[in-house]
Each structure stands twice: as structure tokens, then as C-alpha cells.
Amino acid sequence: MTQFGFELLATDGAARLGRVDTAHGPMDTPAFMPVGTAGTVKAMMPESVAATGAQTILGNTYHLMLRPGAERVGQLGGLHEFMQWKGPILTDSGGFQVMSLAKLRKMTEEGVAFQSHIDGSKHLLTPERSMRIQHLLDADITMAFDECTPFPATPEQAAQSMHLSMRWAKRSKEAFVSRPGYGLFGIVQGGIYHDLRAESACALRDIGFDGYAIGGLAVGEGQDLMFQTLDFTAPMLPAERPRYLMGVGKPSDIIGAVLRGVDMFDCVMPTRSGRTAQGFTRRGTVNLRNARHQDDARPLDADCACPACRQYSRAYLHHLIRSEEILGPMLLTWHNIQFYQDVMKGLRGAIAAGRVHDFADDFLATQAQGDIEPI
């Protein structure tokens, strides 16, 4: 039986090379986990997601509890079996989306009562219910139920929100059913305030988790404040456990966070952008809808090995998007996930070689050049 664990393999400054072991296989870190909100990484076959090098994907508790229902997924063998994803799955706690999507929500000490945004049905999400749902989904990595503190928040608001999350973290730990290969992560809150982050990290360490997430960032504070918060928050977390920055982000956000000691990331950006004609490339973001691509026989990114770049031209991708053909979002999503995985692979290689700062400088300099010149 695989034990859930984290092995720190090398460091380069604060950047870390490691491996997380789970019941459904390993995850090499730093890692980017594509988001599979409703039991699918939108527009991608699971084997295509795996072909990019992605090892772990995300599932969303809020969406799956409402449709098709956690009990149903459980009866059908869990989320891996249901969606045919063989690797590790991380599920969020539902806390973030219940506050951003649900109707008529009411938060109390007990949890959050709300109505489904799909059919108006009434639900109560508590730390105990969130642990139960994530267990039914068979998540390799379960996230503690918390409140994502909004930005901006006064110190008083951030403290009150963080204290509630810490009480919910304790209840999450007590409700989590421990089994080999499965882990539970706590989530540090406290907004942009040093003392609150320290208090939160300390409270979570006392409870004891298999990994530690940094929540409440990438909510509008901007990259500078996010990096400042990471500068003091990451060192507060145990070195021997994985660190996960939730909902981040742009490639430059991820690289900056890796340099500050973060191991795991997720974001809808590569998949959502793929459905809105945005392609991430080594020379920055490209809008394939733009007419400048209509006669361009060159690939989107000449250094990318994905099918969109290996087999098709910018002109064809542009045509698919203008014609609203389904293949357009499919190819661009594949490319964007491949690009993110290539960035992570580059970071892992650079940390192993002790040159992660050079890698970061080169990457950002190439991005800053902007897209290749029009033909």
C-alpha cells in the first residue's frame, strides 16, 4: 500500500524539487494541476491530458455534489473510475465556489447553507459534509473546508475569517477518514497580513496536515502583493510537507511562486483561455482570433510538441476559431496545458541543475519580447 508522502529531492535557493506519492501514483513537483471542474478537463480526453505530462487533476466539490451528486459518483466507483482518470485527483472543499456561485447562501459557525445555482435545491455544506463528499469522490488529496477571505479585507475582517477557517480546519481533520495513500491539506488564510498568516500557519501545524495550501491569494491583490505575502508565508510552512498555492495563475506568477518555495499549482487559465482563442507561447500570449494569423503557415509555438503546434498552422487555428468549430478550443486547450507542463518540466530540470534563477530570467526575457513578427 502506497503511503501518502512527500520527498524533497533538491533545493535551489528557496525553490524545491520534490515528489508527492499518492494511492493513484506520484506527482513530480513543482507541479501544475489542470482543472477538471465537473469531472472533465473541458475539451480534453483524459488520455490527452495525461499525454501533456500532467499527473494530477482537480475536481470541484461544489459542482460534483450538485451534479451528478457525490453519492452517485461514489456508487459508480469514485471519480477516477467515473471519468477514467488514472492518476491522482485533488478536490477542493467547495468553500470557495459556494461563496462565489451559490444563491441565497448563509454562513454560520456550522457551515454554509445555500441554494443550488442549477436547480434551486437546498444544501448545507459543513466541514464534515465536505470531508464526506471528497471521500465519496475518492480524492487522493482532500482540502480542508475553509472560507477564502475576500480582498480587500481589513485586519479585523481577515482575522475573523481566518479564525473561522481554523476552527473548520480542526473539524475537517477530525472528520477526515485516514487511509493509505490519501492525504488531507490545511489552508493558511490571513489575507496579506504577516501576523495573521503566522497565526494561521501555527494553528494548522498544531492540528497536523499532510500538506499545506496558501489560500486567499490571486483574488485581486496583484502580483507584487501576492509575492510579498508568499515571501513571509512560505517559510512558515513545514519544509517536509508539500505546499500548494491555490488558483494561481499566469506563468510568471507560477515561476515567482516556485522561486519562493511553492510546490503545487492549479488554475483555470490555460483551459479557459483555450476556449477563448488565447494561446500561451514562449513569446507571450497570442490571440488566434486576430486577422494577422489568417495567412500564417507557421505553428503557434515552434518549440511546442503538442498536436496543435506539430500538425497545424496559425492560419488553420484562426480559421477554426472564426468558424466556431469545436476543434479550435480542443487544440488550443491541449496546447495551453502542454505549455504549462513544459514550463513546470523546465523548472524541475533547472532546480535539479541549480540554475532556476537563470531559467526564470530567460523565460521572462523571452516572454517580454512579445509574439513572433507577422509574416
The residue (of 192 and 306) whose beta carbon lies closer to Zn ion is 306
Question: Side-chain half-sphere of 281: how many Cα atoms within 13 Å?
Answer: 23
Query: Shortest CA distance to 222 belongs to which of 188, 199, 189, 256?
Result: 256
The residue (of 187 and 331) whose beta carbon lies closer to Zn ion is 331
* Residues designated as active site: 92, 266
Q: In Å, what is the CA distance from 62 to each residue of 31, 102, 219?
A: 24, 9, 19
Residues that bind Zn ion (CB under 5 A): 304, 306, 308-309, 335
Q: How far is the CB of 299 from Zn ion (least distance, A)?
A: 7
The residue (of 192 and 309) whose beta carbon lies closer to Zn ion is 309
Q: How far is the CB of 313 from Zn ion (least distance, A)?
A: 12
335 is in an annotated binding site: yes
Q: How far is the CB of 338 from Zn ion (least distance, A)?
A: 5
The residue (of 26 and 307) whose beta carbon lies closer to Zn ion is 307
189 is in an annotated binding site: yes
92 is in an annotated binding site: yes
Beta strands in the chain (DSSP E): 5-12, 15-22, 25-29, 31-33, 57-59, 89-91, 103-107, 112-115, 122-125, 141-143, 183-188, 211-214, 243-245, 264-266, 278-281, 284-287
Do 204 and 186 form a contact (C-beta atoms < 8 A)? yes
306 is in an annotated binding site: yes
202 is in an annotated binding site: no
Q: How far is the CB of 286 from Zn ion (least distance, A)?
A: 11
Do 317 and 294 form a contact (C-beta atoms < 8 A)? no
Distance from C-alpha of 317 to C-alpha of 293, rounded to nearest angstrom: 9
Contacts of 45 by beta carbon, 8 Å cutoff, 6+ apart: none
Point out the annotated binding site.
92-96, 146, 189, 216, 304, 306, 309, 335
Point out the annotated binding site for Zn(2+).
304, 306, 309, 335
Point out the annotated binding site for substrate.
92-96, 146, 189, 216
